[in-house]
Amino acid sequence: MTGPLIGLSTYLVDSARWSSWDLPAALLPADYHRMVQRVGGLAVLLPPDPALGAARAAVARLDGLVVSGGADLDPAGYGAAPDPRTGPVEPGRDAFELALVAAALERGLPVLGVCRGLQILNVALGGTLLQHVDGHRGAPGTFLDHPVTPVPGTLLHSLLGGPVTVPSCHHQAVDRLGEGLVACALAADGLVEAAEADPAADSAASASPFVLGVQWHAEAGVCHRVVAAFVEAAARGREARAGHGGHRRPSASLSAASSTAGASVSDGPYQVR
């Protein structure tokens, strides 16, 4: 039997060059599909699709969803005016990926967000973003390595065991956490570096067996155990659906309302709110 089918969202660019061609392309760095294949998953790319119902139809065929890195999110999507330092946005990709996340959570599929993917997950659940932070990206086209500390008692802590050094390239980040999410890793400055579903919450996120977003680039090879746990959850879900004729109990619906998080868990300049 083949591994679970994992969908990976992609870029859609006006110009990409290979061989003698220079054409518009849907693309994704090869490290993304390789990280899924390395742990037994079957990877399929999901380019942005504006057709009504396309995201839901794609997710209906999947066993798990990876939301990949990319450009800044349109701040209109979380009710904010654009900061001058916010880069070019891609509303069509935003809309498709937000719909993918909504459909995946409704179906109870595992979801893994990578860099921008964490931000998409957070906004899909009613959270907001910091539109600019310093110190989390290096020169263009490179990663900046820095330490992150998993929060004890979280799924991520159980997978990583303690502080790790991760490759980072972002200038936006989680501000207010979305409904049903908890911070599960922090940077030295207190910035939320990862968020996962709170199993105690009655939310769309907690209805899925694995919901995790990391602000760093997991595809760069530092999160083998995280990716393996995600693909294993997708495989178990496929087996469970097969045993119930492909049906599952409907999950809680996504809420557009803003979440109210608790007190800060950091003394750094970026507070978990």
pLDDT, tens digit (0-9, with 9 covering 90-100), for 216-245: 888 887 788 999 999 999 999 999 999 877
Res 138: pLDDT:
66
For residue 248, pLDDT beyond 60: no
Cβ neighbours, 10 Å, residue 232:
18
Dihedral sign, CA of 241, 244, 247, 249? negative
Catalytic one of 90, 106, 115, 170: 115
Helix, strand, coil shares of the chain, percent, nearest 5, are: 30, 25, 45
Res 216: pLDDT:
87
User: What is the overall mean pLDDT for the chain?
Assistant: 87
Closest CA to 59 of 13, 12, 111, 127: 111
CA distance 127 to 186: 17
> Both tokens of residue 107?
């179906």
CA distance 12 to 2: 28
Reported as a pLDDT band with limits 50, 70 and 90, residue 94 is: very high
Catalytic one of 136, 219, 223, 232: 219
Total number of residues shown for the chain: 273
| Least confident range of 29-38, 105-114, 127-136 | 127-136
Res 136: pLDDT:
65
What value does the mean pLDDT take over residues 42-70?
97
pLDDT, tens digit (0-9, with 9 covering 90-100), for 165-222: 887 766 888 999 999 999 999 998 989 999 999 988 988 898 899 999 999 888 887 7
Closest CA to 46 of 1, 104, 2: 104
Q: Is 196 a catalytic residue?
A: no
Task: Specify the DSSP element, H or E, that contains 16.
Answer: strand 11-18
Q: Is 136 a catalytic residue?
A: no
Q: Are 20 and 28 in contact (CB under 8 A)?
A: no
Q: Is 232 a catalytic residue?
A: no
Q: Are 207 and 108 in contact (CB under 8 A)?
A: yes
Catalytic one of 193, 217, 223, 232: 217
What value does the mean pLDDT take over residues 126-148?
80
Reported as a pLDDT band with limits 50, 70 and 90, residue 268 is: very low
DSSP summary character for residue 162: S
CB within 8 A of 69, min separation 6: which ones? Answer: 114, 115, 116, 117, 169, 217
